[in-house]
C-alpha cells in the first residue's frame, strides 16, 4: 500500500483536511478500505457530497460493518442525483444489504434520487405538524420549538426536501403563530425578583471550590433563582437514560431501581397499565432538543463563555498537560472575538467542516482542581453538554448517577448557570459490581469476540437479556438490586422468587433406571400430583407410576453412611407422591462397571416406617409419553473462577485467564415427567406464549427438578433444550456419589 504521506494527500481530496487526512492515513483498519474506494472511483478530486459518499462507507467498514463498494458498481453511478448528506447516508445503508447495480430503481427510491418537494408541499406538511402541536406551542411557546421542529423533520414526506427551505418555512409559521420572542420566552425574566435582591456573580467569574457535596439547599438558592421544588410542582422527577451502546446488565437494574424507586417512594401513585403505556409514548431522545441545545450554545458564545476551536485531539490533550500531566495552557483560539466564534459556529451548523475539524469549547477554569473543569469541550453536542440541559428541559429534580460522574457535577451546574436555565440536583450512588463476572460493555464484547461466550445474551453473563434467557424472573433482579452484590445473594433471591413462581415437575438430569421387583410388569397407577406442594392454586396433573422408573444419579450411592438419608443398598427412601417407600435390594452393573439398574422393593405403606426423606422419580410408560426426554440440559456455573477477576494478587495472569472453561456443561439424556407437556400447553395459551409460538419458539417454561430450577431455552416440536437457572439449596444430608 502507498506511504502515509501519499495516502494523506489522496484522502485530502475527499475533504479531509490537515490532521484528519493524516489520521485516516495512519489508521491501519480504515486506510486500506478508504484507499480501495478512492482508487475504484478513478477520480483524483471530489465534490463535497462525493467525498462524503466515499468517506462514509470507509468509516462504516471500520466499525466492523461490511459495506459494498457501491461507488464502483458497474453500470451505475450512485453519486449521480445524491445532493445531500441524508441521501448519501441512505445510499450507504441500502448498499449494506443490496447491490444497487442489480436494482437501480430500488436504489433510487431508497435514496430519494430525483425526488423534488415543492415549496407548496413543504408549507402544507409543516402546517399539518404545527396544527397538530398547536396547543403545546401556544402553552410552551418557544420552549417547545425543538420538539416541534423534530416532528417536522420526522415527517416522511419531507425527508428529501431542501432542509434550508423546511427550516425557513417552519420559522415563518412559528413566528406567525407565536409572534416574536418576549419575556415569556426568556428564563432570565423569571428570576427578576431574585436578581433584584442581590445580583450573583457571573458563572465564569465564580470562584471554584472544587468538589462540593450535592445538597438541595445549594441548588435551590442558585443564581438561576428557581427553587428545585417550584418548577416541577413539588414532585420528585427522576430519569433513566440508557446509552444504546450495549445490552442493559444487572448494574442497570440497580440504576432503574434507584431512579424509579426514589421517585415512587417520594410520591406514591397507583400503577396502572395505562400509565406504563403512556411512558413509552413520552420517551424523548436528545435529538428532540437539538434546536434548543443549539440556541443555548449560541447564547454561551454571545456571553463570552464558549468559543470555536480548530485544534486536533492531540493538541487538546497536550493543552491539558499531556501524558506527563504537565502544565496546562490555553488554546490559541480561546480569546477569539465573539463575532468570529459565532460565524465559525454557523459554519459548523452549515456543514462546512468535516467531523472533528471544529469544536465548541467552553471557557472554564484552566486551573481548577477538578480535571473536568479544565476545558469541557463539546462536539455537536457531547454528553456533557446534552446531559444537564436535557435534564433541565424535562424538569428533572434529581439527576441520580453512579460515582464516576462525581467530577461531572461541577460542570453540570456550571453550564446550567451559564445559560441561565433551571438547575436540577445531581446525586451520586455506589456503582454495582458483582462477583465472578464482568459488567463492562467493552469486556463483554471481548468475551464474545474471543469465543468465551456465544453472545451478549449468553446465560452465563449478567446482562438483562442473558438473565431473562436463563429464566431469572424480574422479581428476583429487583429484590437483588436493593441488597448486597455477592452472587450468592442474587442466587438466593432467584430461589426465593422461583419458589413462589415456578411449578414443580419431577425430573432427573442424570437418570438411573430403577426396577421395582415386587410389582407386575404391567403395573400402572395414575397419581394426582400438585404442581406446588400445599398450594392448589397452581393446579394438579396426573403422572403414571409403573414397575420401571428413573431417579437422578445424585439420589443414590453405593456406599452408605449414618448421615446419608437417600437411596443406598439395603436402605429405604420415600418416593414423592407415592404411598409406600422403596428399599434397594440389588445393584446391577454393565461390563464397564457403571450402574445399569437398581433393583428395589416397594414396601407396604401401612406397616413401613416413615422414611426420613423423599426423592423424585419419573416412570417409564410409553403409552403416556413418559418419560419426556430432554435433548439437552445446559448446566451453567460461574464464568470466572474467582470472586474478583480483577484482583491481580489472586489472578496474576489477568481477568481473561480466570475464565472458567467448565462454566457450561451440556447434559444429555435427562428425563422429565409428563407434567412438562401440560405446562407447555398452559403457557402456550397465555398472551406471552402465543407471541412466542408465533415466533416459532417457547422460552419461559420454568420448573423445579431434583437439583435445580430449570427453564426451557429452545422448544421446537419435540426438541427440548433446558437451562439450569440456579441450583436448589443442597440438603446437608444428601452427600455425593
CA distances from 244 to 285, 298, 333 (A): 11, 28, 34
Q: With H, G, I as helix, E, B as strand and everything else as coil, classify residue 425.
A: strand
For residue 519, the number of C-alpha atoms closer than 13 Å in the C-beta half-sphere is 21
- Pairing of the two strands 664-667 and 377-378: unpaired
Q: Annotated catalytic, 431?
A: yes
CA distances from 187 to 223, 245, 389, 396, 724 (A): 12, 34, 13, 17, 57
CA torsion sign, 557 to 558 to 563 to 564?
Answer: positive
Could you tell me which of 517, 579, 567, 524 has the C-alpha nearest to residue 546?
524
- Which H or E element spans position 41? helix 30-41
Could you tell me which of 652, 633, 630 has the C-alpha nearest to residue 641?
652
- Which H or E element spans position 388? helix 383-393
Give 652: exposed, middle or buried? Use CB within 10 Å, 0-12, 13-18, 19+: exposed
Distance separating alpha carbons of residues 724 and 713, to the nearest angstrom: 10
Q: Annotated catalytic, 441?
A: yes
Measured in whole angstroms, the distance separating CA 605 from the mean position of its chain's CA atoms is 56
Which is catalytic among the residues 431, 468, 489, 532? Answer: 431
CA distances from 195 to 45, 192, 231 (A): 57, 5, 18
Cell readout for 596 is 445399569
Backbone phi and psi for residue 552, each to the nearest 5 degrees, phi listed first: -80, 145
Q: Is 34:69 a contact under the CB 8 Å cutoff?
A: no
What residues have CB less than 8 Å from 107, skipping those under 6 apart? 76, 78, 91, 94, 98, 100, 113
- Pairing of the two strands 572-575 and 524-530: unpaired
Distance separating alpha carbons of residues 193 and 191, to the nearest angstrom: 6
Which is catalytic among the residues 243, 271, 323, 536? Answer: 243
Task: Report angle CA 360, 361, 366 to the nearest 5 degrees.
Answer: 175
- Pairing of the two strands 595-602 and 511-516: parallel
What b-and-e string marks burial along 432-466, b requiring 16 or more CB atoms within 10 Å of the CB? bebbbbbbeeeebeebbeeebbeebbbbbbbbbbb
For the chain, first and last CA: distance in Å? 64
Which is catalytic among the residues 441, 448, 629, 641? Answer: 441
Q: Is 492:730 a contact under the CB 8 Å cutoff?
A: no
Which residues are tagged catalytic?
243, 431, 441
Amino acid at each position: 500500500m502507498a506511504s502515509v504521506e501519499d495516502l494523506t494527500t489522496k484522502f485530502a481530496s475527499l475533504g479531509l483536511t490537515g490532521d484528519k487526512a493524516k489520521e485516516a492515513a495512519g489508521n491501519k483498519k480504515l486506510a486500506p478500505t478508504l484507499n480501495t474506494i478512492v482508487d475504484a472511483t478513478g477520480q483524483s478530486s471530489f465534490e463535497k457530497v462525493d467525498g462524503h459518499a466515499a468517506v462514509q462507507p470507509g468509516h462504516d467498514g471500520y466499525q466492523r460493518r461490511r459495506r459494498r463498494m457501491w461507488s464502483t458498481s458497474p453500470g451505475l453511478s450512485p453519486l449521480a442525483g445524491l445532493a445531500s448528506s441524508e441521501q448519501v447516508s441512505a445510499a450507504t445503508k441500502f448498499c449494506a444489504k443490496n447491490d444497487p447495480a442489480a436494482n437501480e430503481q430500488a436504489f433510487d427510491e431508497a435514496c430519494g434520487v430525483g425526488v423534488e418537494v415543492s415549496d407548496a408541499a413543504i408549507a402544507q406538511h409543516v402546517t399539518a405538524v404545527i396544527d397538530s402541536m398547536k396547543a403545546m406551542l401556544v402553552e410552551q411557546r418557544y420552549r417547545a420549538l425543538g420538539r416541534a421542529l423534530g416532528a417536522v423533520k420526522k415527517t416522511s414526506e419531507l425527508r428529501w426536501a431542501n432542509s434550508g427551505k423546511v427550516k425557513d418555512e417552519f420559522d415563518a409559521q412559528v413566528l406567525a403563530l407565536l409572534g416574536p420572542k418576549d419575556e415569556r420566552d426568556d428564563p432570565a425574566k423569571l428570576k427578576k425578583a431574585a436578581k433584584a435582591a442581590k445580583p450573583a456573580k457571573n458563572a465564569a467569574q465564580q470562584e471554584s471550590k472544587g468538589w462540593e457535596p450535592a445538597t438541595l439547599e445549594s441548588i435551590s438558592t442558585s443564581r438561576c433563582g428557581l427553587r428545585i421544588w417550584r418548577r416541577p410542582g413539588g414532585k420528585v422527577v427522576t430519569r433513566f437514560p440508557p446509552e444504546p451502546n450495549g445490552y442493559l446488565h444487572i448494574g442497570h437494574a440497580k440504576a432503574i431501581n434507584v431512579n424509579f424507586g426514589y421517585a415512587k417512594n417520594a410520591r406514591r401513585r397507583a400503577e396502572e397499565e395505562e400509565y406504563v403505556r403512556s411512558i413509552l409514548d413520552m420517551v424523548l431522545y436528545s435529538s428532540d432538543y437539538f434546536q434548543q441545545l443549539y440556541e443555548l450554545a449560541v447564547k454561551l458564545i454571545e456571553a463570552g463563555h464558549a468559543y470555536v476551536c480548530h485544534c486536533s485531539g492531540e493538541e487538546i490533550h497536550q493543552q491539558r498537560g499531556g501524558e506527563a500531566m504537565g502544565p496546562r495552557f490555553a488554546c490559541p483560539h480561546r480569546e477569539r472575538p465573539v463575532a468570529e466564534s459565532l460565524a465559525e459556529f454557523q459554519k459548523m451548523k452549515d456543514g462546512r467542516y468535516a467531523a472533528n475539524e471544529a469544536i465548541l469549547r467552553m471557557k472554564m477554569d484552566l486551573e481548577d482542581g477538578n480535571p473536568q473543569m479544565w476545558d469541557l469541550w463539546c462536539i455537536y453536542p457531547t454528553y456533557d453538554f446534552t446531559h444537564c440541559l436535557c435534564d433541565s428541559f424535562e424538569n428533572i429534580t434529581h439527576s441520580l448517577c453512579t460515582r464516576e460522574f462525581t467530577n461531572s457535577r461541577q460542570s453540570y451546574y456550571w453550564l446550567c448557570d451559564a445559560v441561565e436555565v433551571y438547575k436540577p440536583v445531581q446525586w451520586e450512588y455506589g456503582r454495582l459490581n458483582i462477583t465472578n463476572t464482568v459488567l463492562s460493555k467493552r469486556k463483554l464484547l471481548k468475551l464474545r469476540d474471543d469465543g468465551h461466550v456465544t453472545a451478549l445474551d449468553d446465560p452465563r453473563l449478567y446482562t438483562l437479556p442473558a438473565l431473562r434467557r436463563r429464566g431469572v424472573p424480574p422479581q428476583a433482579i429487583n429484590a437483588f438490586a436493593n441488597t448486597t452484590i455477592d452472587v450468592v445473594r442474587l442466587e438466593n433471591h432467584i430461589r426465593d422468587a422461583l419458589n413462589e413462581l415456578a411449578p414443580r415437575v419431577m425430573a432427573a438430569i442424570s437418570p438411573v433406571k430403577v426396577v421395582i421387583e415386587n410389582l407386575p410388569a404391567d403395573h400402572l397407577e395414575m397419581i394426582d400430583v400438585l404442581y406446588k406442594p400445599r398450594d392448589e392454586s397452581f393446579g394438579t396433573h396426573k403422572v403414571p407410576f409403573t414397575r420401571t422408573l428413573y431417579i437422578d444419579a445424585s439420589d443414590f450411592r453405593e456406599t452408605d453412611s449414618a448421615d446419608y438419608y437417600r437411596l443406598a443398598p439395603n436402605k429405604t427412601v420415600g418416593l414423592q407422591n407415592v404411598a409406600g417407600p422403596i428399599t434397594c435390594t440389588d445393584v446391577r452393573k454393565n461390563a464397564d462397571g457403571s450402574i445399569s439398574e437398581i433393583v428395589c422393593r416397594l414396601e407396604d405403606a401401612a406397616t413401613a416406617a416413615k422414611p426420613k426423606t423423599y426423592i423424585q422419580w419419573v416412570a417409564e410408560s410409553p403409552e403416556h409419553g413418559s418419560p419426556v426426554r430432554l435433548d439437552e440440559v445446559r448446566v451453567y456455573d460461574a464464568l470466572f473462577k474467582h470472586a474478583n477477576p480483577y484482583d491481580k494478587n489472586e489472578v496474576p495472569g489477568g481477568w481473561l485467564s480466570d475464565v472458567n472453561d467448565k462454566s457450561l456443561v451440556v447434559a444429555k439424556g435427562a428425563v422429565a415427567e409428563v407434567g412438562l407437556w401440560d405446562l407447555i400447553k398452559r403457557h402456550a395459551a397465555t398472551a406471552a406464549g402465543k407471541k412466542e409460538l408465533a415466533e416459532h419458539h417457547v422460552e419461559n417454561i420454568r420448573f423445579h427438578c431434583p437439583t435445580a430450577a430449570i427453564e426451557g431455552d429452545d422448544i421446537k416440536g419435540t426438541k427440548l433444550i433446558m437451562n439450569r437457572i440456579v441450583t436448589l439449596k443442597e440438603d446437608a444430608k444428601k452427600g455425593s456419589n
